[in-house]
A = this chain, B = another copy of it.
Amino acid sequence: MARVAGVSVATVSRALRGLDRVSPQTREKVLRVAEDLHYVASPTATSLASGRTRVVAVVAPFLTRWFFATLVSAIEKSLRAQGHHIVLFGLEDDTYDQRLTLTQNMLWKRVDGIITLNVPMTAEEVDLVDRLELPLVAIGSPVPGRACVRIDDRLALRTAVQHLADLGHTKVGYIGSVPDNVAHIQTPQDRLEAFKASVVEFGLTCEPAWILNSDWTAEAAAQDSRDLLRGDHRPTAIVAASDEMAIGVRESARRLGLSVPGDLSVIGIDDYLLSEVLGLTTVRQDVAAQGRAAAELLLRALLDDDEPTDEVVLPTELIVRESTGPLS
């Protein structure tokens, strides 16, 4: 390449990367030759020489669920627009209470930075990332001392409970608490706490038996809510910690012959892909915006070399549709 352009490799490097100290004519000639030869610099050689890979790791507990897929998509777009690529790490294991752990050979000299999607890092993982001196931005579950993008879970839950209170409901249930073995995950904890606090704040009642464990899928939520809905001592409204669970609860109710919202109001959190078409009332969060915000924070660390530690809290919004209604 340098040979056919009749210049040194150093000049080729400078011309192609748009550095100054190259005469316009030389630059133009180099660019033309590069074009002719389909020349593209080898990224592995560039990385070895420069020490930067222009790759970022995106780490998620699940890749298939809507929330995570939406984040990944938004992050990929933002990062690629700035010449970065993403390598994906799905941490899901077959069992629900353990996951793969981040290791040095996933990261070392392989990526310039990390975005975690709602993954609570262990102390060892935090140490590792510190030792590797990698910038990190967390979405959802925060990582101590690092930048974080999230919504205000407390506020979101309060909004949901308030909506039910406004409709006249006094007996409310909740689905989305999580067994002890996965208690390290932040979001379920936060939402449950916030739910309970809001119930008190608005003077409603929620019996312990009305708080249901579920694994955050629609299928499981349908199953896990059946017993409660079948009995006659039940709440008149249920808050689900995610729209997918809300969909499951509503289906369960319908199968038992309950009308929604006539006999039972159901509200979720997210504004999931199908929530609009299914007429589900929800507290909306803008997932793609969270992905973009995280990508931008990380890019700032990468390009300007100053690592931000901001906490970005994005707004949520009540969307009233057909799954909630006044107490009859």
**What B residues does A218 contact at CB under 8 A?**
273-274, 277
Contact with B along A131-169 (1 / 0, CB 8 A): 100000000000000000000000000000000000000
**Does A196 count as interface, using CB distance less than 8 angstroms?**
no
Nearest CB on B from A68, distance (A): 8
Given contacts A247-B277, A274-B274, contact A42 B38 (CB under 8 A): no
Contacting A73 at CB < 8 Å: which of B40, B77, B90?
A: B90
**Does A295 count as interface, using CB distance less than 8 angstroms?**
no
Given contacts A63-B72, A73-B64, A86-B87, contact A109 B43 (CB under 8 A): yes
Contact with B along A257-293 (1 / 0, CB 8 A): 0000000000000000110111100000000000000
**Contact B85–A86 (Cβ < 8 Å):** no
**Contact A87–B278 (Cβ < 8 Å):** no
**Does A193 count as interface, using CB distance less than 8 angstroms?**
no
- How distant is the Cα of A38 from the Cα of B87 in the complex, in angstroms? 22
Q: How many copies does the complex hold?
A: 2
User: Nearest residue in B to A219 (C-beta to C-beta)?
Assistant: B277
A binding-site residues for B, Cβ under 8 Å: 38, 40, 42-45, 47-48, 53, 55, 62-66, 68-70, 72-73, 76-77, 80, 85-90, 92, 104-106, 108-110, 131, 218-219, 222, 244, 247-248, 251, 273-274, 276-279
What are 5 A-B contacts defined by CB distance under 8 Å? A42-B109, A43-B105, A44-B53, A62-B73, A63-B72
Contacts A44-B109, A86-B88 known; 13 new A-B pairs at CB < 8 A: A40-B105, A42-B108, A43-B105, A43-B109, A63-B76, A64-B69, A66-B69, A76-B88, A77-B90, A218-B274, A247-B278, A251-B277, A251-B278
